[in-house]
Amino acid sequence: MKFIVTMVQDEDGVFIAECPSIPGCVSQGKTEEEAERNIEQAIKECLEVRAERGMPLTVSTREVEVPV
């Protein structure tokens, strides 16, 4: 399965990765590459837990346009 992830660098230089389609699925790393590897593992674990609990694996995400 493919998932969209977001990646931002915080004020301490740590990269934070999040999978918006899986609520609470967040990880981090010292480099972008490490954060990407970590979020891949977090996604697998989140999907396992959600399946065990009978929860939907993902939630729908949408793109909305906000006038600025």
Report whether 47 contacts 33 (CB < 8 A).
no
Q: Kindly indicate the confidence band of residue 57, based on its pLDDT and cuts at 50, 70 and 90.
A: very high
Q: Kindly indicate the confidence band of residue 13, based on its pLDDT and cuts at 50, 70 and 90.
A: very high
> Is the pLDDT assigned to residue 61 strictly greater than 90?
no
The predicted model scores a pTM of 0.87
> Is the pLDDT assigned to residue 49 strictly greater than 90?
yes
Sheet containing 6-9: give its strands across: 6-9, 15-18, 26-29
Q: Please give the share of the chain, as a percent, with pLDDT higher than 90.
A: 93
